[in-house]
Amino acid sequence: MAGAVHTGGAPHPSSFPASPLPMSLRLPAPLTRALSLALLLGAMAAPVRAQLPTQLADSTYWRLITEFSEPGGYFRSENFVSNETAWQMVIPDLLGRFAPGGAYIGVGPEQNFTYIANFEPALAFIVDIRRQNLVQHLMYKAIAELSADRAEFISRLFARPRPAGLTPEMSTADLLVQFAPVRPDSALVRQTYEAIVRQLTVTRGFPIAAEDLASLEYVLYTFYGAGPAVTYSTNQRGGGGLGMSRGMPSFFELMVQDDGAGMNRAFLGSEALYQRFRDYHRRNAIVPVTGNFAGPDALRRVGEYVRAHNAVVNVFYVSNVEQYLFQQGDEWFRFYTTVGTLPTDSASVFIRSATNRGFSNGYRNGSLMTQYYASIEETVRLFRQGALLRYNDVIMMSR
């Protein structure tokens, strides 16, 4: 991604010593000054190319959420946390692939934070059909901004008082184990909810609707009730129940996974990764949007914004949404048509997951879901050629 490096052959011009021009080739002093002034004025008049911002004003952040979002839609699960235990395994292959200054698009809850913290886009957009997902990301945002370290974040998220003796060097597993015997605190969850509302509506000044605040309270109390055992399908508000888990991994199980080479790259995998994740939120650089991947506005508006800032989408994490789009009429066709309008380059990739209960390109890792990646431009090319007609076609062209 860096500039070209001279590696051999004839000497590079920069290796020749400078020598003065012969007198006959030198310009008269007045002409030299005039030429220098013209070059200076030309440089001053040249338009400055827009770049994707790495920080948004509060008003801009809320405007993007409002203008890019579509009306909320239905999905069969509340997706409180991911169900993809292998989501880190694509990261080593993709590190260093992308030029700086690009955008990230994702879907779903907290698994996005791990990709963002590792790939470090300039700006990230989380697009999900469920309005509750947007609200949950606002909850995460406020808790991250209020929490100086991982232990404080976990304490607020699950309303468990922070145990004594926790250190920044602790592994995620050790950290979460320390919270295991701590009982949920009803006063702490109420204090946390009030602090979240103040952070979002007073400190940040976001005009959050009453129904969204009620949804935020519901999500927070779900985490309070289930604790680190919360899963993708936990559906009981408070009371400590886990709901219908359906064999889904818990938050604890997700946070102690690794990248297949022994390194935990989760956003809570180290204090450094947590601070990177927190910094994105403090800069308003993770923008949640309500939108259908097959819808008319959300993805297109994200793409238009990225293009207007002379940037490309580096990573588009789609989870297994494509599986559902292929089950819903022509939604898959509308989605790939929209993807074809996004600004991308040859390095841009989809990260997708597929259930091991029916879809595979021959690789299985023993988990519920397997993670894959594929070139976005190659995907669009195959779609336009009529070579992507089923969800399994998409999986087979991925690696």
CA dist., res. 291 & res. 73, Å (int):
8
DSSP string, 176-207: HHHHTTPPP-HHHHHHHHHHHHHIIIIIS---
Distance CA 253, CA 257 (A): 7
Tell me the per-residue pLDDT of 369-398, one tens digit each, with 9 for 90 and over. 899 999 999 999 999 999 999 999 999 999
Q: What is the spatial distance between Cα 231 and Cα 248, in angstroms, rounded to a whole number?
A: 6
- Encode 332-357: b = buried (16+ Cβ within 10 Å), e = exposed: bebbbebbbebbbeebbbbbbbbebe
72 located within any domain:
yes
Asked if 163 and 178 count as a contact pair (C-beta separation under 8 A), the reply is yes
Flag whether 11 is in a domain: no
Contact 352, 320 (CB under 8 A): yes
Assign 8 a pLDDT band (cuts: 50, 70, 90).
very low
pLDDT at res. 188: 98
**Is residue 37 situated within a structural domain?**
no
Q: What is the pLDDT, as a whole number, of residue 236?
A: 43
**Structural domain includes residue 19:** no
In-domain check, residue 363 = yes
Full residue range of the structural domain in which residue 295 is found: 58-396
Domain assignment of residue 316, yes or no: yes
Mean local confidence (pLDDT), 48-68? 93
Q: Is the pLDDT of residue 272 over 80?
A: yes
In 10 A of CB 263, how many CB atoms?
13
**Which tens digits make up the pLDDT trace of 196-242?**
999 999 999 999 999 999 999 999 999 999 999 999 888 643 333 33
Q: Mean pLDDT score of the chain, rounded to an integer?
A: 87
Q: pLDDT tens digits, residue range 143-190? A: 999 999 999 999 999 999 999 999 999 999 999 999 999 999 999 999
For 87-146, write each residue's pLDDT tens digit.
999 999 999 999 999 999 999 999 999 999 999 999 999 999 999 999 999 999 999 999
Helix (H, G, I), strand (E, B) or coil at 352: strand
pLDDT higher at 84 or 242:
84
Mind giving me the DSSP string for 202-262?
A: IIS-----HHHHHHHHHHHHHHHHHGGG-BTT----STT-----TTPPBHHHHHT---SSS
CB neighbourhood size of 197 (10 A):
15
Domain count, the chain: 1
**What are the backbone dihedrals phi and psi of residue 265, each rounded to the nearest 5 degrees, phi first?**
-100, 10
4 assigned to some structural domain: no
